[in-house]
Chain A
Amino acid sequence: MSAATEVTYLEAISDGLRQEMRRDPSVLCIGEDIGAFGGAFKVTDGFIEEFGAGRVMDAPLAENAIIGAAVGAAAEGLRPVCEMQFADFISCGFDQLVNVAAKMHYRQGLAVPMVVRLPSGGGFSGGPFHSQNPEAWFLQSPGLKVVAPATAADAKGLLTAAIRDPNPVCYLEHKGLYRYVKGEVPAGEHEVALGEARLAREGGELSVITYGSGVHLALEAAADLDEDIEVLDLRSLCPLDTEAILASARKTGKVLVAHEATQSCGVGAEVAALVAAEAFEDLDGPVRRLTAPDVPIPFSPPLEQAVLPQLDDMKEACRELLAY
């Protein structure tokens, strides 16, 4: 493995994608404005010059055609990586994703190796249609794998693994982390296995189980509070690393599940149910959730901040559980 270099989360996604496209000629990108323009967030900047318009395909404004064409191309042995311009627009390609792609292997024994990149998350006044965290939609659709990296290294490593996986993988890349998060990333091939959580901070009194933007909020809160807090970064939401979740819950006896997505029937609910069912005897307090409330993400900054979990909210939630 080559030396690690410090890059942004965004650069790490680009690096991972570029590396896989260089390694495997069957990998191609399909999406809106990803060619000459390089994508709305510039993840594929410079790709069309290196790989040509055939492998960096500007698609018409038609998400079902993008996902559906990717299913067909994947069935024929290619490994398409679709870019939704914003995760929110997967609603327009949802039918192909959940009915065609997700169910294909179960129904037909036909593998559909494809990735759907989903720039997700709020915090920048994107409003109700450019800020969502739609991961729970996918988790109710058996046959889809779902990952949500929090660090630059995982952004690259999970994308590499997602591309190499024989299943449809929803890859949630948080827009708020694109340029905010920087970190050491292995320069060469770097793969992070799907389904393995990462212990982001070790602690003994409280487990904050989270992913994506929540990891950074939790780490900051733990540092500010200077308490014995453990932070478990799930990284993969499906498959879910249930062993790591239970090991952490058993160790600390207190669990806060945190995510930016809305609350009801979300990842937090799933983790809480798992902990309640399997680690009940080890708990020293109620399993709590810190999430967005069940509302659309509002546009105006004070409203948006009221909805999305903030650092103070995280600190407060940790304090309450530690004091329980």
Chain B
Amino acid sequence: MEPVNGAVASARDEVGDRRESADRDAPGREAGEVARSTFLNRADRANLLRYMAMMRSAEERAITLYRQGKIPGSFYDGAGQEAISVGSSYALGPRDRMCILHRDLGAHFVRGVTPDRYLANYMGRAGGVTGGRDGNLHFGDRELGCVGMVSMLPDMAPVATGMALSFKLRGEPRVAMTYFGDGSTANGQWHEALNFAGVHLLPVVFVLENNGFAYSTPNELEFAVDPVERAATYGFPGELIDGNDVEAVFEASRIAAARAREGGGPTLIECRTMRMHGHGAHDDMRYVPPEMFEEWSARDPIDRYGERLVAEHGFSADEVERIRAEVKAYVDECAQTALASPMPDPATATDGVFADDLTPLGDGKAPWSYWAERPDVERSAA
């Protein structure tokens, strides 16, 4: 046993070395400097803070509901990862399409889902986005241009690729975006999707949320080479960014989406972050070294952005506090709406297995000021 363990340990050290060197070489990783987008106005910045805070508040409210026994099954959140879904989705236009995952509640809010529908979905209520057909974040509001995720990961990568294929075939300047985690990059479908998108140069933005752990499995047991380096082998750019910096995520997504729209093909954006809660509420995270929590707590994306708004963008501390408090009050109100929503009628359990008609996807809200300034942007008929 001794030599075998020794060999494994030494192999892991080697992997660790390689990972470290990848970190050192990563653009924007160690710089300690923050990204600053010139494509955001004051209202946009308030929105970025608002949506991140809304995600945090809604998930905190959901945890309470879970502890009160109002949420069947388990509970999953994206605490600490709010900057990724908010910053990336904020760069998209109304006719762009998304496949949103379980750490990405912020993207649903940006697209126009309201917290009551999210909370109702978790509670299995009729007022949830799926009306009780599926739980937690397994939803996509088709009227807002989203296709809902499944548990098998990263199954939405091929689906987003297919949406991008339809844009390319029709010659439309539109983009599909999807998310996945570090664990997903070990799965064959990840390769199938990125390869397909690369071969056909499709307008799709792949957002990798590397939060350090796939359930309990650390990066060094998921891959030998940082996934962002694989992008080049599929024939498109990969960018490694600070996933706890909402403007860095926004900028990388904006640039990737613009390139895709112009026919430049896919981009892989790896957002480094840390999952601050367990994989699910049942996971006590004993596998995470405590110092890792300390390090990442100091980089909380919401606190950090609030401070930056004050330090660099002329927001007062009161204003930042007010935005967060308003969001919290709004989420509380939404929780009451969700709690008032009835459970689904059991008589409907076998309805809707098959479609009788086509159900076109609608457009998302696209709150980025850029889109409001472009009334010429074509909207979908649906």
Give chain A's interface residues, CB within 8 Å of chain B: 28, 54-55, 57, 59-60, 62, 64-65, 67-78, 80, 95-96, 99-100, 103-113, 142-143, 145, 166-167
A167: chain B residues at CB < 8 Å are: 354-355
Cα–Cα, bound, A54→B201 (Å): 12
Cross-chain contact of B193 among A65, A74, A106 (Cβ < 8 A): A65
- With contacts A65-B192, A67-B158, A70-B162 taken as known, whether A76 is within 8 angstroms of B355 at the C-beta atoms is no
Contact B358 A76, beta carbon cutoff 8 Å: no
- In the assembled complex, which residues on chain B have CB atoms less than 8 Å from the CB atom of A55? 169
Contact status of A105 and B352, CB under 8 A, knowing A55-B169, A75-B361: yes
- B145 CB to closest chain A CB (Å) equals 10
Name B84-111 residues within 8 Å CB distance of A: 97
What would 7 A/B residue contacts be, using CB atoms closer than 8 Å?
A: A28-B169, A68-B158, A68-B159, A72-B176, A80-B162, A107-B130, A111-B358
B residues with CB within 8 A of A:
97, 130, 133-134, 138-140, 142, 147-148, 150-152, 155-169, 176, 188-189, 191-193, 195-196, 199-200, 352-361
Chain A residues contacting B133 (CB-CB under 8 Å) are 106-108
Q: Are B161 and A72 in contact, CB atoms less than 8 angstroms apart?
A: yes
A36 to chain B: closest CB distance in Å? 15
Chain A residues in 8 Å Cβ range of B130: 107-108
Indicate if the CB atoms of A65 and B196 lie closer than 8 Å: yes
List 20 other contacts, CB 8 Å, given A54-B169, A108-B140: A28-B169, A60-B196, A62-B196, A65-B192, A65-B195, A72-B159, A72-B162, A73-B162, A73-B169, A74-B162, A80-B162, A95-B189, A100-B156, A103-B150, A104-B148, A105-B354, A107-B134, A108-B133, A110-B359, A111-B357
Partner of B357, one of A28, A75, A145, A166: A166
Minimum CB–CB distance for B77 against chain A, Å:
21
Separation of A105 and B361 alpha carbons in the complex (Å): 13
Task: Decide if A78 touches B355 in the complex (CB within 8 Å).
Answer: no
Complex Cα–Cα for A73 and B164 (A): 8
Q: Contact check, B196 vs A99: say whether CB atoms are below 8 A apart.
A: no
How far apart are B233's CB and chain A's nearest CB, in angstroms? 14
Q: Is the CB of B147 within 8 A of A75?
A: yes
Q: Are A68 and B355 closer than 8 Å at their CB atoms?
A: no
Q: Chain A residues near B161 (CB, 8 Å)? A: 65, 68-69, 72
Contact of A100 among B139, B150, B168, B188 (CB under 8 A): B150
Distance in angstroms between the alpha carbons of A73 and B158 in the assembled complex: 10
Cα A96 to Cα B167 in complex, Å, equals: 21
- Bound state CA distance, A106 and B353, in angstroms? 5
Most buried by B among A55, A60, A69, A104: A69
